[in-house]
Structure formats: structure tokens, C-alpha cells
Amino acid sequence: MTTIAFLSLFFGLISGPYPIQLAVNGPVASVEIVVDGRSAGTLPGPPWKGTINFGPALRPHQVVARALDAAGHELLRTEEWVNLPHPLSKAEIVLEEGKGGPPKAAKVVWTHLKGEKPRSVSLAFDGLPVPLDADGRGALPAHDLRSIHVLTAQVEFTPLESVHRDLAYGGEYGSEVSTELTGVPVRVGSLPPAEKLGGWLTANGKPLAVAAVENGPAQLYVIRAPTAGYVAQEMGRHGYGKMPDNLRFEMRLGKEDRVRFVLPVPRRVVGSGEWSDLFDISPEFDYRQGGIPWLLEWFSTIQSRPSDSSPDGGMRIADAVAVAGLQAMAQNRRRAVLLVLAGDEKDASRYDPATVRRFLESLRVPLFVWTLGKPAPGSIAAAWGPSEDISVVRDLLRAAAELREQLASQRIVMVDGRLLPQSIALSPKASGVELVGGPP
């Protein structure tokens, strides 16, 4: 019985050289690593470790590991996704091969970005519990491979966070079977029913089957670099004198839409033996809590705590925007990211504004940049490119209207399969539709 699984954590923003490790069992002579359809090297044997170089750009990737026999024939494959949304935890079931027969044991392997230890780990074989030792390994009952067998693992970290994993083998199955959908955001005036959209979208030139069209609540992720007090002082200071509170409150999104803030100063945590930087995200705010300007002034969570993850312990604005882009596409909803700058900030980010802009374009997440004054040449605000100066009331009103119109005109087309967002394009059959975002 052949099994292969990634043990590497592909969390966070990844570029350049990156270490990988796999768990491999069975008559596997080598493992070929394929990135975005192209071979990226071969692991010749245990301990099944290597390095992938993703290059300097920040963009989504598909990583496939192909288990090969001595003749170079594929036995099995598994895949992972880079720079796309990931849960904080994952679990795998690794089979231990029996000599000339079915597997004799199985091991549950788990990882957690924050280094949390599981409260409980369980494994079931065809519905019957399998006792596990301290390492998550359990002996399997005697069985044959002429029938299908299902292993089910459950790893619970907290009452609200657990990971479920199934593995089917024997009979006609060689590996786990699953079905996934990819949400593609489009801008439309009107859109036919899903059953009439077949062939409107393609991936690498092949037509995609459309399962549904979603028009649920939109999500706006906001990164605000200046303090709430500074925003209140500078926003809308030109035009009407001090902007009336009711005007700030009324510049709201749709009644079902949600707003969340991503704090631009991360905190460093150690998990699974490695350091990771986490950007805190606020609870959701809705229509009842006011318009975007009102929230920008009201939301005042401290953002200036020290962080070992930045050279000067300061803000990492561009990195926070990239994280917001990932969060915005995580739930297949209508989406946008809003960055608000004073204009004179210092940014200790790993990535520059141009790289992050291209990343959001590849994710198909629209980015809006608002500034509290005209950007000075050479400033951080200028580096982000096109922006709206919201110190002028007229421009603030226009910027808020553009943001609301962008979200209102989006629809999410659900297509079969998990796909790289930058691989999806419109076919000549598509009419009155444009993809959200731009070319990567």
C-alpha cells in the first residue's frame, strides 16, 4: 500500500527557497515535485526532504508530489497550495506498509501554526475505534485489500477548533477522494443562471463547469496605518469644514456586508518548531455600526505594540495588505481590501507595495488606497500608486461610492475543482462580464 503526504506547513506568505518534507510509504523509488505544472526537482529517497525555490514574486502556487516506482511510473500523488488561504491546523493519516499484505498500522500526524497541542486525537477503522499511543500510532485489525476500508482521524485542539481527515483505500480506491469548488469573482450588470454559464470560464484553456453563482454578504478588509484620532482629525477636513457625524455614519456598505480590520503590526509566535508572524484581525462590523469613515475613526485597538518580526518593531503595512487579500478570498464571498495611509509612515514589510499589488491582482481581490492628504513624491503612500485623497469631502464621498459600487457589482461564480486563481480566464462566450482584479 502506497501513501504520500506533505508534512510541511505552507502557511503565510511564501517566496524564494522554502523547505519541504513528505511522509512516504510503499514501493516508492523517488518523488517528483511539480510546481504549477512544471517539474521542480526529485527527492531520491528518505528522509524525503528538499527545497523548492518559488522565486522572488509573491503569487499563488500549486505544489504536487508524485510518488514514482523504479521505472518512473506514477504510483500516487498529493498536492498542496501556496499563498492561498489555509487553516491554522492540519492532519494527515500515514499508513505503515505490511510486508506483502495490507497495512499493519496507521499514524495520525498533525501540525498547528501556533504550536497548540491537541486535547484529543482519535482514529477509527471502518467505524471501529483504534487505540493510539502517545505518538498517534495505532495497530490496525487484520483485513484484506479486496474491500474498501476507511480510516477517519479527528484531532481536537479546542472545543471550537478541530481537524477531520478521511482516508479510503483498498477495492477501487488508491487514495482519498474529495470534491472542491473554486469561487471566481466577476463584475456584472446581470448574469444568466449557473446552468447557462457552461464554458464561460476556462482554466489553462479548458472550459470549466459552473456549479453555482453566489451573491451573499461582501467582506471588506481594512488596514489603517494612522491612529483613529489622526483619521478623525484629517479625514474630510477640506470642503464642508468639519464633516457632520451623520454623513460619516451614513457612508455604509450593503446591509448584509461585513467589515474587518487587519492590524499592521504582527505578533510573533512559535509553532511546530518555527517562528511565524500573525496579523490580528478584528471581529466583524456590520451595517448597524455605521459607515466606513465612522469605523475608521471609531476602531481604536492599539496597533503600536513591539514586534520582534520587524527590524524596528514597527508596522508591516504591505505584508498586512497581502494577508488581508488572502483572508478576503478565503470564504468565496464578494470582496475588497482598503488601505488607509497618513502618507508619512515607515514600513518594515518583507514585501514592497508593487509586489503586493500584483499579488492581490493574482488573487482577484480589488485594492483601494485612501490617503489623508496628497501623497508626497517618494513616500509610502506614493509607492502604492493610484489612491484617493480623503481629506477632501468631495473625494471621500466619491471614494466611498466607488467602493460600495465595486462590492455591489460582484458575483462569485463557483466552478468545479480547486484551481489557481490566476489560471482562470473568460472565454469568448462570456458576455457582459469581467473578472475582478487584473492580470498577475
| Structure confidence by residue, pLDDT tens digits, 354-376 | 999 999 999 999 999 999 999 99
Amino acid letter for position 87: P
Q: Could you tell me the maximum CA-CA distance found in the chain, to the nearest angstrom?
A: 83
Quote the pLDDT of residue 306: 39
Helix (H, G, I), strand (E, B) or coil at 65: strand
Quote the pLDDT of residue 439: 53
Confidence class for position 275, pLDDT limits 50, 70, 90? low
The cell 509553532 sits on which residue? 271
Residues ≥6 apart with Cβ < 8 Å to 100:
none
Residue of higher predicted confidence among 82 and 95: 82
Quote the pLDDT of residue 115: 72
Q: The domain 3-169: what is its CATH number? A: 2.60.40.10
Indicate if the pLDDT at residue 211 is higher than 60: yes
Quote the pLDDT of residue 240: 59
Residue 372: how many other CB atoms lie within 10 Å: 24
* Average confidence score pLDDT of the chain: 85
Residue of higher predicted confidence among 290 and 74: 74
Cell numbers at 147, concatenated: 474491500
From CA 162, how far away is CA 94, in angstroms rounded? 19
Quote the pLDDT of residue 303: 46
Please give the average per-residue pLDDT across 115-135, as a whole number: 90
Confidence class for position 264, pLDDT limits 50, 70, 90? very high
What is the four-CA torsion angle of 194, 199, 201, 207, rounded to 10 degrees?
Answer: 130
From CA 344, how far away is CA 12, in angstroms rounded? 27
Residue of higher predicted confidence among 97 and 179: 97
Number of H helices, E strands in the chain: 7, 28
Amino acid letter for position 111: T
Indicate if the pLDDT at residue 316 is higher than 60: yes
Question: What are the residue ranges of CATH 3.40.50 in the chain?
Answer: 219-411
* Lowest-pLDDT choice from 175-184, 246-255, 390-399: 175-184
From CA 337, how far away is CA 412, in angstroms rounded? 16
Indicate if the pLDDT at residue 225 is higher than 70: yes
Q: What percent of the chain has pLDDT over 90?
A: 50
How big is the CA angle at 143 (ends 142 and 145), to the nearest 5 degrees?
150
**Element (DSSP H or E) covering residue 336:** strand 335-341
Distances (CA, A) of 249 to 34, 233, 245, 289, 294: 51, 16, 6, 8, 5
Quote the pLDDT of residue 25: 84
Question: Contact 325/363 with Cβ under 8 angstroms?
Answer: yes
Please give the average per-residue pLDDT across 91-113, as a whole number: 81
Environment class of residue 298 by beta-carbon count within 10 Å: exposed (0-12), middle (13-18) or buried (19+)? Answer: middle
Quote the pLDDT of residue 13: 92
Please give the average per-residue pLDDT across 275-285, as a whole number: 80
Strands 219-224 and 335-341: parallel
From CA 325, how far away is CA 380, in angstroms rounded? 19
* Lowest-pLDDT choice from 139-153, 193-207, 327-341: 139-153
> So what CATH class is 219-411?
alpha beta
The cell 521505472 sits on which residue? 71
Cell numbers at 222, concatenated: 481594512
Quote the pLDDT of residue 9: 75
Residues ≥6 apart with Cβ < 8 Å to 209:
198, 415, 416
Confidence class for position 269, pLDDT limits 50, 70, 90? low
Residue of higher predicted confidence among 245 and 210: 210
Indicate if the pLDDT at residue 302 is higher than 70: no
Cell numbers at 309, concatenated: 518580526
Indicate if the pLDDT at residue 138 is higher than 80: yes
Quote the pLDDT of residue 426: 93
Q: What percent of the chain has pLDDT over 70?
A: 88
Quote the pLDDT of residue 364: 94
Please give the average per-residue pLDDT across 244-272, as a whole number: 81
Indicate if the pLDDT at residue 301 is higher than 60: no
Quote the pLDDT of residue 95: 83
The cell 508524485 sits on which residue? 66
Question: What are the residue ranges of CATH 2.60.40.10 in the chain?
Answer: 3-169
Indicate if the pLDDT at residue 24 is higher than 80: yes
Quote the pLDDT of residue 310: 43
Distances (CA, A) of 314 to 109, 309, 343, 375: 36, 9, 15, 21
Please give the average per-residue pLDDT across 60-68, as a whole number: 96
Indicate if the pLDDT at residue 97 is higher than 80: no
